[in-house]
Amino acid sequence: MSASTPGKKLCIIPARGGSKRIPRKNIKDFLGKPIIAYSIEAALNSGLFDEVMVSTDDQEIAKIALKYGAKVPFLRSSIAASDFATLAEAIEDVKINYEQLGISFQYICCLLPTAPLVNTEIIFRGFEELISNSVDSVRPVVQFSYPIQRALRVKNGKISFFYPENMSIRSQDLEPAFHDAGMLYWMKYNVGLKGDNKYGFEISGDCAQDIDNETDWKLAELKFKLMGSRK
């Protein structure tokens, strides 16, 4: 697969200004530069996209996005920037604005702004999986480190199994389970994230880190440094 694969490709980096758990999360310093810069640079360095844009409602984020080479052709609507708006709705907001400008694409990669561990290999792999499997959307996934079939319920300090039928089954005999890597989503433009035909490809847990609190942030920095030491 190469950048010459037919069909215009848009990279959307959604970065609203109203982060609650980590204030100004999308532009917080991550080892020397705003965390969103890593996603912008990975997208640009891939050479895969006809346009790399940041969808934001925030002027400061827009200024930083432009500094690192992304485009901000319009600001996100207040509805798509609300606390209750979904990622799918934010993507549809971008599509509507481009259509009003008379611009269309065939493929979208929604690359999250807090994914500093993303690299061009993962971006290309996602596109390859989208095309070769003829699905609506694709995302990287990470295997849970412990069998979810052994999950515990805790009430007033007392524990019970969610799935007691699995108590005596060896962990290696249980089906592996995966979670969204929280990194990127490739999709067909006309379907977006609303299509039911979704596909996942596995990546190492070393290559992904969901960032919801300060501990997550520090773990992401440690993983980033570890990845750098392996090169």
Give 225's pLDDT tier (boundaries 50, 70, 90). Answer: very high
Cβ–Cβ under 8 Å, residues 97 and 81: no
Q: Which two tokens stand for residue 104?
A: 């269309």
Helices marked H in 17-172 — which ranges?
Answer: 35-46, 59-67, 87-100, 120-132
Quick check: 111 pLDDT over 70? yes
User: Given this model, what pLDDT does residue 1 score?
Assistant: 46
Cβ–Cβ under 8 Å, residues 55 and 76: yes
Cβ–Cβ under 8 Å, residues 107 and 8: yes
pLDDT tens-digit readout, 49-107: 999 999 999 999 999 999 999 999 999 988 888 888 899 999 999 999 999 999 999 99
Quick check: 228 pLDDT over 90? no
Q: Which two tokens stand for residue 87?
A: 């990622």
Closest to 122 (Cα-Cα) out of 69, 13, 48, 219 = 48
Give 230's pLDDT tier (boundaries 50, 70, 90). Answer: low
Q: How far apart are CA 165 and CA 186, in angstroms?
A: 37
Closest to 72 (Cα-Cα) out of 143, 14, 27 = 14
Residue 138 DSSP code: E
What's the CATH code, domain 9-143+176-230?
Answer: 3.90.550.10
User: Given this model, what pLDDT does residue 80 score?
Assistant: 86
Q: Domain residue spans in the chain? A: 9-143+176-230
Cβ–Cβ under 8 Å, residues 17 and 56: yes
Cβ–Cβ under 8 Å, residues 161 and 120: no
Distances (CA, A) of 23 to 27, 109, 143, 162, 226: 9, 26, 29, 35, 26
Residues 6+ apart with CB under 8 A from 112: 13, 14, 39, 182, 183, 184
pLDDT tens-digit readout, 133-174: 989 999 999 999 999 999 999 999 999 999 999 989 998 999
| Statement: the pTM of the whole predicted model exceeds 0.85 | yes
Query: Can you say how many angstroms the Cα of residue 156 is from the centroid of all Cα atoms in its chain?
Result: 36
Closest to 210 (Cα-Cα) out of 228, 223, 193, 225 = 223
